[in-house]
Amino acid sequence: MDRTVIKYRHCERDIYSFSCSRYSCTQKTDDVDRSGCPICHQTLSFGVLDAPVALTCPFMNAHQVPCAFVIGSVHGPSYLGEWHDTEIHVGVSNSGGLVYNYTLSGVQRDDRGWEQCVCVQLVPPWRHDLRESWDRQLEEFSALPQWVSERFDEEREFGSCCYGFALTFINRMRSLDGKVSLSRDEFTGSYILPRMKTVSKYIKIYHTILQHGFYKLDST
């Protein structure tokens, strides 16, 4: 999912398509002009204030996002649209972009493989104190007997596994910061689901453009 999605208005609809990602960005508008509106087939001419806008891609390289909650899928970002999909795997990045994640083989420290993920930054950039203790705490936490490989199935019964590992660490850091712990539902509802809604929408738009060349939204 590496093409840029752009949005513009025509025929009283919001229309989404790919920009000419293979050319330079300055030709973006020319490219749309040439193809015309996919609904009325008229040549598009954009004036002041109606230039196409690029959609922000919701996927980031987790190895470049320090101290984050990271959501990925081994099958690629397209699979992140369905939150309950069992293929989703989560972890926590340290300040150097290593992604700590709990698997059948115990805690892994990955320096690759999380290049197209949803990343929720957990620490404000100005909290140097938290950032400094983060890596040490994450390393100590990962070494706890709770996260040995033999207990993976046991954890699964409680719906934990990788998600439980990440959330338990977040709560540990919150308690060191004098904050109350969050339940799984609180964390998911407040921090994850709103983000995944945007991601699902982006994936739907992207795949529709792949199939039909464009995506349209009828509401005004």
The residues that touch Zn ion, with contacts defined as CB under 5 A, are 10-11, 37, 39-40
Nearest distance, CB of residue 41 and Zn ion, angstroms: 7
- Indicate the DSSP class of residue 117: B
Describe the strand order of the beta sheet including 106-110 as a list of residue ranges: 106-110, 99-103, 88-93, 68-73, 118-121
* Tokens matching residue 206: 């992207």
Q: How far apart are CA 1 and CA 75, in angstroms?
A: 12
Which residue has the CB atom at the shortest distance from Zn ion? Answer: 37
For 74-184, strand residue ranges (E) read 88-93, 99-103, 106-110, 118-121
Nearest distance, CB of residue 162 and Zn ion, angstroms: 46
Look-up: residue for tokens 């959330």?
167
Q: Which C-beta is closer to Zn ion: that of 25 or that of 39?
A: 39
Q: Which C-beta is closer to Zn ion: that of 32 or that of 107?
A: 32
Q: Which C-beta is closer to Zn ion: that of 11 or that of 217?
A: 11
Nearest distance, CB of residue 27 and Zn ion, angstroms: 21
Q: How far apart are CA 30 and CA 187, in angstroms?
A: 44
Q: Which C-beta is closer to Zn ion: that of 10 or that of 28?
A: 10
Nearest distance, CB of residue 12 and Zn ion, angstroms: 9
Q: Which C-beta is closer to Zn ion: that of 8 or that of 202?
A: 8
Instruction: Give me the amino acid identity at 132.
Output: E
The 10 Å Cβ neighbour count of residue 184 is: 15
Closest C-alpha to 61, from 19, 21, 126, 2 = 2
**Burial class of residue 136 (count of CB atoms within 10 Å of its CB; 0-12, 13-18, 19+):** exposed
Q: Which C-beta is closer to Zn ion: that of 11 or that of 25?
A: 11
Nearest distance, CB of residue 38 and Zn ion, angstroms: 8
Nearest distance, CB of residue 36 and Zn ion, angstroms: 8
The 10 Å Cβ neighbour count of residue 43 is: 11
